[in-house]
Structure 1
């Protein structure tokens, strides 16, 4: 008979804990890690270039609503990544999750005021999607629908944060595009 020995470092590795209802499958976990890490790195690089004066003219910095929008969305990228990978159900998870959801809702609502007269564009489709997902995330968690809660969070992170984030970097004239590539 053999006895299993526990690795003392196993406690610190979130990928080797028993799977729970909120844990992600390997494909989704990989997608979250890849997209969240890449987007965080792109944001840090863009901010670093701008802070060092390597981005050229940034007229976006004079627009309060754009700065407010960016200041609420930037923490959502690494915080969301952490929340999706960290242990679930703890008081810290719940508090940081509410902070993340609040930041996401404030970010979405702030986009409505970026253009004068609340002029909307195609990218504003993410506003109602974000508001709906935030509502469902909370209501499903309160009902005890843990799988539904997890699915809403993952779709909110990948769909309403990563997709618009990609557009923020690739569309010429957007602030993150100008900061990273100096275009616009």
Structure 2
């Protein structure tokens, strides 16, 4: 009996392993192909100090940055709320559609943010392409009743598109880095 009761949690854990491996691989590729050696990044982190946020840096940012940052922050909060809500309800659907819309706007707006690669697209834009593909897939998976795949894809999008890509925004030299670190 205890073996059956631990099976669902083991199933949930194994469902997250794939997205975590893919996410870590993408982060590794960003370091390798991003033109910044990992040793340099670690050196800068060791020498940096956290300070009170300098919102003046954001005030002088472009409209695309404001849109991207605003919808990404809302998507983080709404996605966390979605995890806590009961699944399969009308509220879950409404919040889900709104969250997916925010994710899509964040992905589209990211194509206007190209300062880290001399005006060109960078590897972080792969998250944006992946988001644009995954948003309709998440809807389709729910509509055809493939709920486990729907859940796994939505979790992957949340962690890959918001947590990891958002974490990459805090690399040295990026705007969010300068807002919080010196």
Partner of 2:85: 86
In 2: Cα distance, 1:56 partner to 1:77 partner: 20
Partner of 1:125: 126
In 2: Cα distance, 1:159 partner to 1:82 partner: 17
How far the C-alpha of 1:78 sits from its partner, in A, is 1.7
Taking structure 2 as the reference length, what is the TM-score of the superposition?
A: 0.66
Partner of 1:62: 61
Partner of 2:172: 172
In 2: Cα distance, 1:49 partner to 1:99 partner: 32
Task: Please give the per-residue CA displacement for 1:136-155, whole angstroms capped at 9, x wherever unaligned.
Answer: 10011111111111011011
How far the C-alpha of 1:115 sits from its partner, in A, is 3.1
In 1: Cα distance, 2:96 partner to 2:55 partner: 36
1:120 aligns to what SS in structure 2?
Answer: coil
Gaps of 5+ in 1: 1-20, 30-47
Gaps of 5+ in 2: 1-7, 17-50
Alpha carbons 2:75, 2:102 under 8 Å: kept: yes
In 2: Cα distance, 1:172 partner to 1:166 partner: 11
Taking structure 1 as the reference length, what is the TM-score of the superposition?
A: 0.65
In 1: Cα distance, 2:142 partner to 2:150 partner: 5
1:125-164 to 2 correspondences below 5 Å: 125-164=126-165
1:88 aligns to what SS in structure 2?
Answer: coil
1:113 aligns to what SS in structure 2?
Answer: coil
CA RMSD of aligned residues (A): 2.8
**More relative contact order in 1 or in 2 (CA 8 Å, sep 6+)?**
2
Q: How many residues align?
A: 137
In 2: Cα distance, 1:56 partner to 1:101 partner: 28
Alpha carbons 2:138, 2:150 under 8 Å: kept: yes
